[in-house]
Amino acid sequence: MWLISSRIIDRARFSPSVFKRFHQVSSPLGGAGATLTRGVSTCSNSTLQSDGGALGDFLGIVGLSLGVSLAATAVAAAISLPLGTALAIFSFRGRRLLVVLLNAFFGLPPVVVGLILYLALSRSGPLGLLELLFTPTAMVIAQAILATPIMTALVHRASERAWARYGDELICDGASRMQAIPPILRIIRAELLTAGLAGFGRTISEVGAVILVGGNIRGLTRTMTTAIALQTSQGELSLALALGAVLVGISISISATVFALAGSARIAGSDEA
């Protein structure tokens, strides 16, 4: 993490102008940003932070984007890893239909997910009592819904191949099908990485759902993508573009970091499966 955040700080040093107007779009409430900033003691430009401002706000937005997307990816992973493998191992009526549906939901329009969740979480909706509308939690739920199908489908596809090759062996060793899920997941761990990155990519780049259920509230639910939308609506096109570049940079950094970590953990390639 520190690697990523210090890269952002570096960027900030190179182009402070990007942050100048940031006090307009974000707020000193950005707790995650403050936490990140505190962690990175190399950040010497204390004036930018103490006046409430621009850099701290920017980090708040970046922190929220990363936090929401990673949390959503984690939730989606908790569902899709066992589900995707189970779909490959167990055979039951309607399995094919379920797989077809999962693949169809790749194209689930975020704005539709956002709208349905909005109505459900509204105070006058069925889940209104939870008071979740316009909170980061609502954004995590929306993005987890979006990431789960694609991650499940990728896990399923990899598990199918691994099951075809190692399934008999595992069963012969006396494992039940339920007990076979963890070893299968271990065999396909390289593909899990791809699934995780696909889920993360789906969530971090998303704007339609989070702007509906989050409300793009400054300092609370404003993410990179909703901030870009807002900047564009204020005619600040160059600032919006700069934010977009940072978002792409972060995505690249995350992907590179994950692959580097995976390499150091000596996760084998897909040749095993």
Partner 1 sequence: MIKTRSLWALVAVFAMHCGTVAAQSIVLASTTSVEASGLLTKILPPFTAKTGIAVHVVAQGTGKALDTARRGDADVLLVHDPEAEQQFIDEGHGGTRRQIAWNDFIIVGPSADPAHVRGGNDSVAALKAIASVQAPFVSRGDNSGTNAAELRLWKIAGQAPGTPIREKWYREIGGGMGQALNAASAMDAYTLTDRGTWLSFQNKGSLVIAVEGDPRLINRYDVIELNPQKHADAKLGPAKVFADWLVSPEGQQAIGAYRVNGERLFNPSADKPR
Closest to 61 (Cα-Cα) out of 187, 221, 248: 221
State the binding string over 72-111 for partner 1 (x if CB under 8 A, else -).
Answer: --x-------------------------------------
Asked if 24 is part of the footprint of partner 1 (rule: CB under 8 A), the reply reads yes
Structure tokens at 220: 């609370």
Report how many residues bind partner 1 under the rule CB under 8 A: 48
Quote the CA–CA distance of 111 and 116 in Å, as a whole number.
9
Which of 6, 35, 194, 205 touches partner 1 (CB under 8 A)? 35
Which of 83, 98, 175, 217 touches partner 1 (CB under 8 A)? 217
Closest to 246 (Cα-Cα) out of 2, 15, 3, 1: 15
Do residues 205 and 228 make contact, with C-beta atoms less than 8 angstroms apart?
no
Which of 53, 56, 63, 199 touches partner 1 (CB under 8 A)? 63
Asked if 163 is part of the footprint of partner 1 (rule: CB under 8 A), the reply reads no
Asked if 215 is part of the footprint of partner 1 (rule: CB under 8 A), the reply reads yes
- To partner 1, the closest distance from the beta carbon of 183 in angstroms equals 17
Give the long-range contacts of residues 254-263, CB within 8 A, separation 24 or more: 254/4, 254/197, 254/200, 254/204, 255/197, 257/3, 257/4, 258/193, 258/196, 258/197, 259/193, 262/190, 262/193
CB atoms under 10 Å from CB of 47, counted, come to: 9
Pick the closer one to partner 1 by CB: 44 or 124: 124
What is the distance of C-alpha 98 from the center of its chain?
A: 24
Kindly indicate which of the ranges 8-16, 83-91, 126-134, 177-185 contains the residues binding partner 1, using the contact rule CB under 8 A: 126-134
Asked if 264 is part of the footprint of partner 1 (rule: CB under 8 A), the reply reads yes
Residues forming contacts to partner 1 in the complex (CB under 8 A) are 1, 23-25, 27-29, 31-32, 35-36, 52, 63-64, 66-68, 70-71, 74, 122-125, 128, 133-137, 215-218, 220-221, 230, 232-237, 258, 261-262, 264-265
